[in-house]
Chains A and B, each alone.
Chain A
Amino acid sequence: MKITPEITRKSITHLINDGERADGRAMDEFRDIEIETDVISKAEGSARIKLGKTQIIVGCKPQIGEPFPDTPNVGVLMTNGEMLPMADPTFEPGPPSEESIELARVVDRCIRESEMVDLEKLCIEPGKKVWMVFVDLHIVDYDGNLFDAATLGVMAALMNTKLPIAKYVDDEVVIDENETMDLPLRDKAAMCTFVKIGDKMVLDPAREEESILDARISIGITESGNICAMQKGGNNPLTRENILESVKIAYSKVPELLKNL
């Protein structure tokens, strides 16, 4: 059991009930966002995102592989995440925790379900060879709200990704490293995470706020205006009104978030 959150719980909850936050932000205000792309030259696409003091490095590595038997002409896109022990004193080395698996899967769902990457264009030879794009999240500094930071970071890395041109000649894949193409993107998406503290829904929780949250909701919305992913977390319930109010705010915030790209 963590003792500090129990002590700070009261003061944070009081502040929020009075309509204030410890760092002076409004209830629906994001912290500063800083995105830098092309930070790893060995990766085909990469980005470093800072959301407040949360920091994530995202790398995209494509590989040539075989398509899944049920989708022979479709490429593969996979997102993985690791909450590194360096990012927080409570993160443990070893097999990925439930939290890090949830994070990676929610971000993956947001990117994949938005159908922003045209996976058919990642097919090199139907039934034989396709591009498999692996997106890896390296969480290096945890200061709250990994979901939104990770999604935006992945988005930035995908937009930065260049694939070499691959052709299928005589049962073999020939790669031309000198010529590249952009990853075929047809949409964008961003995520907005709210936590419920007391009776209020608070956007972009800082670490302290996250440590005492009653419930959390993350909402992924595409630039074209669809909800593409959603996930509730936390050990307490949300009301129907909490959810619909958050969806409304998220719709107004997503264009703002995407401006950072």
Chain B
Amino acid sequence: MIKVEHLVKKYGDRYAVNDISFEVRKGEIVGFLGPNGAGKTTTLNILTGYLSSTSGKAMVDGMDILEHPMEVKKKIGFLPEQPPLYLDMTVREYLNFIYDLRKCKLNRKEHIAEIIRVVKLEGTENRMIKNLSKGYRQRTGIAGAIVGNPEVIIFDEPTNGLDPKQIIDIRNLIKELGRDHTVILSTHILSEVKSICDRILIINEGKIVADQITGDISKNYHGNRRVSVRVEGPSSAVLAEMKKLPGVVYSRIGAEYSDGSASYLLESREDVDLRKPLFFMLAKHSWPILSLELPGANLEDVFIAALDEENAEEGNTNPGKAKNKGGK
């Protein structure tokens, strides 16, 4: 559906986007993840035709955005980082304006009513946008992006600045839209891509440093397997015994609780399953297990690892930026 080939964008001597290539298949939800200033917004702006690339190609449905701007723009709904809202309009007027702007052919009344329902803007349709809260403004922006039912929807940091409840609502909304649209989402929040996206592209300093299925990333990235366990017993003795288990490469106490228990984080080599030996060892000492989890690698680790890998490839390894295995 979307194909980007060797995209480059230079501002003066600085590369905002440096030779990026990727593909997004129809119906996928792809997360664009990277620190601020990594080139996410620039890439999305090129895809939507707001900016032009210095070189390279961006194609939607086989059509180059520079050669067929009108056709491509019709296929894309875009929510920029700051929602492009006319504050002096009501929500309904705004959606009607976009309906006209995009020369939409669907039944106006039904389509706009449907959007208002999907985005949960009922009750605010006739309010001025300037009087809406940030969460509702964001919803109005999303509503604007889906007017005309575009095949591709692009969201640039859609949950930026929202409160936790609004963040969950917007994420659910995006997931729902992802059922029958191709969605690209940019964010610097790792848990966001994990909860929404099928695939994740990690971008840093204008380059793609990782491109994987979201599930695979958290399962396999490090190779090491993790166990998080809460045990009742003398913590230093428990930890000392844990260290002796075969295959353990890392162990530490997470938190100690007032009931005399403590949580521990263990990492073993990929070929070792720690759960059984751990159980028998604790049972032998009569230290009861209160809970046991397999957290897997988290995306923070993945992200830092991907950046480190990239740096290492460039012969620019920085020992201070070692993998943060003990992370949360």
Q: A and B from one assembly? A: no
Binding site for A on B (CB under 8 A): none
Binding site for B on A (CB under 8 A): none
